[in-house]
Structure 1
Amino acid sequence: MPEAPRRHIDATTLRGLAHPLRVQLYDALVTFGPATATMLAGRFGESTGSTSYHLRQLAKHGFVEEDPGRGAGRERYWRAYPGGSQLDSYELAEGGSGEAASLVVGELQRAQSARLEHWLSVGYLQVPREWGQATINSTAHLRLLPDELASLGAELTAVLDAWHERVDSREPGADDARIVEVQIHTFPVAAQDVP
């Protein structure tokens, strides 16, 4: 089954995500997989009514959807839209939505940074040694032109997409697999005048 395309976030759909709790809910569904409003309420210390409302708003704007393969009766599981989402901060800023885009990007970055910080401080002590030894913490500095940076990003994304296709059918708890977060940051370094 081909992977769903990445969803382009425009100014209209951004309004559906530009709330700190909605970003957290979306990030949790992307990171940990399908969950109910009750499960997410427990994770974030919110009421089920609040998480239900925000999940419906996320669904209305196409960020999440009901997971038809899970739940029974009134128990409704939600999942992130397959394929993920992407936004162009410059496009949104030019359209007057820069503040909302900054909120979304900032919240997502805080969540990623918190998971990385947890791993580096104590997380590695909470997994068997083979898991810790299989991880990498690497930085590379390259002298690139803008089109080369874009090509690098496309190649890295293609590798991750291929791995998604390879492992997406795994069910939680079916084997020894764990959620593994891959953080790749590509950006120009601020002080580039130094040789």
Structure 2
Amino acid sequence: MADPPRRNIDATTLRGLAHPLRVQLYDALVTYGPATATMLAGRFGESTGSTSYHLRQLAKHGFVEEDPFRGAGRERYWRAYPGGAQLDGYELTDGGSGEAARLVVGELHRTQSARLEHWLAAGYLHVPREWGRASVDTTAHLRLRAGELAELGAELTAVLDAWRERVRDRDADPEAGTRIVEVQLHTFPVAAEDVP
């Protein structure tokens, strides 16, 4: 069964995410999978009360939900909304929405960059050689039109979506030979002053 469609983040739902800890909680659930407020509190050095409050706010705005397959009684597991979310910064330029969008995108990029920096600094030393050799660090510079850039982005996203569907029911389990693998893909036009 495929994930539901991605949710578009509008000015109202953006307010539910525009807090550094909420972005970190959401990112952790997307990256590492379901967790309890207590588990997340330990990860981020916060109180369980704080993480519980922020998880409820994320749920209120549709970013996370209770995981119906985990937890019992008072042990409540949370998971990121299965379809994911997307934000169009150009739609959120009025009032405080633009600043909130910059906060969210900036915080997400900081967490992604931190994971990449950790890998580049020494992460490869902590995995078997086959995992290190299977990783990719590549850059390409293409001369594209705006429509071609959009087409490239759609094709790359389709590849990632196909792989996401292919492995959707797997848990990260080193004993079974699986790990969480992060794919960071950046496509953007280079600033005009950088173009020869």
Q: TM-score range by the shorter chain?
A: over 0.9
Aligned-partner Cα distance in 1 for 2:3–2:155:
17
8 Å CA contact 1:8–1:85 kept in 2: the answer is: yes
**Taking every aligned residue pair, what percent have the same amino acid on both sides?**
81
Contact 2:36 2:78 in 1 (8 A): yes
Measure how far apart 1:90 and its partner are.
1.1
Does structure 2 retain, via aligned residues, the 8 Å contact 1:6–1:83? Answer: yes
Cα 1:95/1:86, change in 2 over 3 Å: farther
Q: One-letter code of the match for 2:32?
A: F
Instruction: Supply the RMSD in Å over aligned alpha carbons.
Output: 1.2
Q: Do the aligned residues in 2 keep the contact of 1:11 with 1:95 (CA within 8 Å)?
A: no
Equivalent-residue separation in structure 2 for 1:15 and 1:164 (angstroms): 28
Give the partner amino acid of 2:183.
V
What does residue 179 of structure 1 align with? 180
Size of the alignment, in residue pairs? 195
The amino acid across from 1:10 in the alignment is D
Query: Structure 2: any 5+ residue segments left out of the alignment?
Result: none
Paired with 2:67 and 2:77, the residues of 1 have a C-alpha distance of 5
Q: Distance in 1 between matches of 2:15 and 2:113?
A: 24
- The whole-number CA distance in structure 2 between the counterparts of 1:33 and 1:121 is 25
Divergent runs of 4+, >4 A = none
Match of 2:61 in 1: 61
Matched position secondary structure for 1:8: strand
Q: TM-score, normalised by structure 2?
A: 0.96
Offset, 1:176: 1.2
How many angstroms apart in 1 are the aligned matches of 2:143 and 2:128? 38
Q: Is the 8 A contact 1:7 1:83 kept in 2?
A: yes
Question: Corresponding residue for 2:104?
Answer: 104
Cα deviation per residue 1:110-147 (whole Å; 9 max; x = unaligned)? Answer: 00000000000010100000000000000000001111
> Could you tell me how far 1:96 is from its partner in structure 2?
4.4
Quote how far apart the aligned CAs of 1:94 are.
3.6
Deviation at 1:192, TM superposition (A): 5.5
Measure the CA separation in 1 of the matches of 2:194 and 2:47.
51
Shift of 1:38: 0.2
- How far apart in 2 are the matches of 1:25 and 1:193? 36
In structure 1, the gaps of 5 or more residues are none
TM, length-normalised to structure 1: 0.97
